[in-house]
Amino acid sequence: MERIWQTHRLTILALAALAFVLMSSMIVVPETQQAVIIRTGEPDRVINRFKPDEPFGKTGAGLALRIPLAERVQMVDRRIQDLDMEGETVLSNDQQRLEVNAYARFRIYDPIQFVKSAGTEDQLRSQLEPILTSVLRQELGRRTFASLLTPERGDAMLNIREALDRQARQYGAQILDVRIKRADLPEGTPLQAAFTRMQSDRQEEAETIRAGGRRDAQIIRAEAEANAAKTYADAFNKDPEFYDFYRAMQSYRTTFESGTGDSSIIMSPDNDYLRQFRGRR
Amino acid sequence: MIGLAMAGKSPWGNNSGDGTGNGTGNGDGTGDATPPRPSADKPDKPKGPRNPWLPPSDEPRRSASIEDIFKNRGPEGPRRTGGGGGGGPNFRLPQRPGGKSWFPIGIAAIALVWLAVSSIHFVQPREQGVVTWLGGKYARTLNSGTNFTFPWPIQSVAVENVSTIRSETIGNSGENLILTGDQNLVDLSYIVRWNIKNLVNYRFELVEPQETMTEVAESAMRAAVAETSLDTILSGAGREQVETRVRRRMQDILDAYGAGIAVQGVEIARTEAPEQVIEAFNDVLAARQDAERNLNDARRYEQQMLAQAQGSAAEFNEIYEQYRLAPEVTRRRLYYETMEAVLSKTDKTIVEADGVTPYLPLPEVRRRAQGQQAQTPPAAAPAGGQ
């Protein structure tokens, strides 16, 4: 053992040095990253560059070589990343305010361009975010408040995506999608106004329902009375003269017999009731 | 590191490639088991940094440290190497024939175990695994069952549950107000159920697949609600439509991203009017009750009226039937019966001569008389009719 070291010292040291050089010249590119090789400050080539139709496993990820010391590697994410926009108040063209929360999805498709112009993902985000905000403001400010809520919005989003994409291409990134995540009424007066309007809407609805109920009830009552009248008329109209007599009899009974308060009747002996009183025929 | 290890432990220069750092630690322990070594070992001791925790010239403690070192290797370490000779505090490895070290055997055993552990994969029924080559190049996908891969540094495996449906509740904490198409607000919470449909895409396409899914869900839900009126959502009539629309839209967006996520379903859990206006909404419900009550009252009245009319009509018809059979007699009978009933209950005054009334003294009587005059003519009418 000792002898191996003694006799092959140089070989061993050379092998170790070789291993060291090999290790420092080998880089590992995961499937999710693109590696930009920067030679003395200038981006030289890209390993595992994104191409839309390449299936995973055939993309060039894995081991790659670089020249140690002279070449530096910067990893650039290959996946779809998100650009989140904080809530921004947007003014529609009918002067209504809307709090909009949007996001964009992008992918860095040209890592060299990206490394030259933006450098890091965070920097790219901070460059794109104000652009997204201003494009969004511009585009939504051209529409009415109501149309911001409708599906027509899709068309606005397309315009925003295109405008943002144009800017992002300068950084080697491609905007895949821009979407409004939330569109809310701003806290405070607009929200309160909406609540008040909802309240009055409901009050109106409640009142309408109550009035409708009253109307329908009245109609039912009127119909009932009409039906009753018809029933009466059908029966009584068979002999109006007899009805008059019959009803008069009923009426007398109701008035005198079961009516409250005492009544006195002063009759002349000529009264028909007293006809027999006198023995007349 | 490797270079240093070789320099320090020349006797096992050939092994140190496998053993690296730990190899030196073992070297000290096993070195005591072989007689010729101590002299070679001694000069090593002062080089503290190699393993400073080992006290010099303390035999039992040293042999215990072998175990410790093997234990530290990992879960399989003590079991495999312990098989060479039992435990115990004063444990000493038995001599190997030929006076050689146990060290290479131990290393080989460990290597074997490591090989087995990192190259055999039992993937559970609901799981899939993604195999990546050294450095992250995608190799293949493992389905459930027993799978073999190259051992660890060459290939690594990430197993993920793919078919279990996960659910994500959105808008569950506090009020989640969403604008509806008629510019009202609704408080809504919903559940998204999803699973992984393409594990490779799920792992490699998006930076944050799960968060992306949540954002897409929110965007799709808000868009769908903005296309619907408040009443449709609140009443539950449009709920199913909203749910399917959100699900479809989410799936489209996620597919466009290549997210590898399948949206299994979207369920609206809660739709309520905002807290601020819930009173007004309740009042609408109360109004519906009021209206219903009014209608019921009217219907009751209708029934009463109708019943009464039918009753009266029937009564008249009965009498009229009798009257038709004997008009004169019936009429007389009715007349006398009524008069009898009426007059038996009232005070009667029969006045012979005309013009007496004004002389009646009591104003009471006069007032009555005046009332009487209005009533007498009808009483006389039937009589007059005769």
Tell me the DSSP string of A45-99.
EEES---TTPPTTSSS-EEEE--TTTEEEEEEE-SBEEEE---EEEE-TTS-EEE
- Taking an 8 Å cut-off on Cβ atoms, the answer to whether B331 and A257 are in contact is no
Residue A69 sits at the chain B interface (C-beta within 8 Å): no
Residue of B110 and B357 predicted with greater confidence = B110
A279: left (phi over 0), alpha (psi -120 to 50) or beta: left
Is residue A273 within 8 Å of B350, Cβ to Cβ? no
What per-residue confidence (pLDDT) applies to B217?
Answer: 92
Q: Where does residue B54 rank: exposed (0-12), middle (13-18), buried (19+ CB within 10 A)?
A: middle
For residue B231, give the chain A residue with the closest CA: A202
**Is pLDDT at B263 greater than 90 in this prediction?**
yes
Residue A242 sits at the chain B interface (C-beta within 8 Å): yes
Residue A173 sits at the chain B interface (C-beta within 8 Å): no
What per-residue confidence (pLDDT) applies to B386?
Answer: 35
Q: Which of residues 243-262 of A touch B (CB under 8 A)?
A: 243, 245-246, 248-249, 251-253, 255-257, 262
Span B24-29, average pLDDT: 42
- Taking an 8 Å cut-off on Cβ atoms, the answer to whether A30 and B135 are in contact is yes
Q: Which of A80, A153, A245 is closest, CB to CB, to B205?
A: A80
Is residue A44 within 8 Å of A71, Cβ to Cβ? yes
Q: Smallest CA–CA separation between B28 and chain A, in Å?
A: 16
**Is pLDDT at B87 greater than 50 in this prediction?**
no
- Relative to beta strand B347-350, strand A264-267 is parallel
For residue A239, give the chain B residue with the closest CA: B320
Name A106's bridge partners. Answer: A81, A175
Is residue B14 within 8 Å of B44, Cβ to Cβ? no
State which H helix or E strand residue B236 sits in: none
**Is pLDDT at B34 greater than 70 in this prediction?**
no
**Is pLDDT at B284 greater than 80 in this prediction?**
yes
What per-residue confidence (pLDDT) applies to B244?
Answer: 92
Residue of A109 and B83 predicted with greater confidence = A109
What per-residue confidence (pLDDT) applies to B332?
Answer: 87
Sheet containing B155-161: which strands, arranged edge to edge? B137-142, B127-133, B155-161
Residues in chain A closer than 8 A to B277 (CB atoms): 195, 198-199, 202
- Taking an 8 Å cut-off on Cβ atoms, the answer to whether A265 and B346 are in contact is yes
**Is pLDDT at B95 greater than 70 in this prediction?**
no
Q: From first to last of the 281 residues of chain A, give the pLDDT tens digit.
A: 667 777 888 888 999 998 888 888 888 888 888 888 888 888 888 888 888 777 777 777 778 888 877 888 888 888 999 888 888 888 888 888 888 888 999 999 898 888 888 888 888 999 899 989 998 888 888 888 877 777 667 678 888 899 999 989 999 899 998 988 888 888 888 888 889 988 998 999 999 999 999 999 999 999 999 999 999 888 888 888 888 988 888 888 887 776 566 677 777 777 777 777 666 55
Q: Where are the alpha helices (DSSP H) in B239-326?
A: 239-257, 278-325
Span B20-49, average pLDDT: 43
**Is pLDDT at B196 greater than 60 in this prediction?**
yes
Residues in chain B closer than 8 A to A235 (CB atoms): 312-314, 316-317, 320
DSSP-based three-state secondary structure for B354: coil
What per-residue confidence (pLDDT) applies to B21?
Answer: 40
- Taking an 8 Å cut-off on Cβ atoms, the answer to whether B305 and A257 are in contact is no
- Number of separate helices (H) and strands (E) present in chain B: 13, 10
Q: Smallest CA–CA separation between A141 and chain B, in Å?
A: 18
Residue A62 sits at the chain B interface (C-beta within 8 Å): yes
Q: How many Cβ atoms from other residues are within 10 Å of residue A98's Cβ?
A: 21
Is residue B2 within 8 Å of B16, Cβ to Cβ? yes
Is residue B26 within 8 Å of B5, Cβ to Cβ? no
- Taking an 8 Å cut-off on Cβ atoms, the answer to whether B302 and A179 are in contact is no
What per-residue confidence (pLDDT) applies to B20?
Answer: 40
- Taking an 8 Å cut-off on Cβ atoms, the answer to whether A227 and B305 are in contact is yes
Residues in chain B closer than 8 A to A271 (CB atoms): 379-380, 383
Residue A223 sits at the chain B interface (C-beta within 8 Å): yes
Q: CA dist B20 to A56, B13, B37, Å?
A: 35, 10, 20
Q: How many Cβ atoms from other residues are within 10 Å of residue A275's Cβ?
A: 14
Residue of B39, B211, B222 to mutate, interface with A, max A Cβ within 10 Å: B222
Residue B10 sits at the chain A interface (C-beta within 8 Å): yes
Q: Which of residues 90-149 of A touch B (CB under 8 A)?
A: 103, 105, 145-146, 149
- On the CB side of A46, CA atoms within 13 Å amount to 21
Residue A177 sits at the chain B interface (C-beta within 8 Å): yes
- The pLDDT tens digits of the residues spanning B119-174 come to 888 888 888 888 888 767 788 888 888 888 887 778 888 888 888 899 999 888 87
Span B293-300, average pLDDT: 93
Q: Smallest CA–CA separation between B270 and chain A, in Å?
A: 18
Determine the angle formed by the axes of helices B278-325 and B327-344, rounding to 10 degrees.
Answer: 120
**Is pLDDT at B114 greater than 90 in this prediction?**
no
Per-residue tokens: B209:
């697949």
What per-residue confidence (pLDDT) applies to B176?
Answer: 85
pLDDT tier for residue B8 given thresholds of 50, 70 and 90: very low
Span B285-305, average pLDDT: 92
- The pLDDT tens digits of the residues spanning B309-324 come to 999 899 888 888 888 8
Residue type, A145: F
Residue B273 sits at the chain A interface (C-beta within 8 Å): yes
Span B277-285, average pLDDT: 89
CB pairs under 8 A between A and B: 323
Q: Smallest CA–CA separation between B87 and chain A, in Å?
A: 31
What per-residue confidence (pLDDT) applies to A90?
Answer: 86
Q: ∠A161-A163-A169 over CA atoms, to 5°?
A: 90
Q: ∠A153-A155-A159 over CA atoms, to 5°?
A: 115
Is residue B26 within 8 Å of B103, Cβ to Cβ? yes
What per-residue confidence (pLDDT) applies to B247?
Answer: 94
**Is pLDDT at B248 greater than 90 in this prediction?**
yes
Q: Smallest CA–CA separation between B141 and chain A, in Å?
A: 11
Per-residue tokens: B329:
């007699």
Chain-wide mean pLDDT for chain B?
74
Tokens 């017999």 belong to residue:
A257
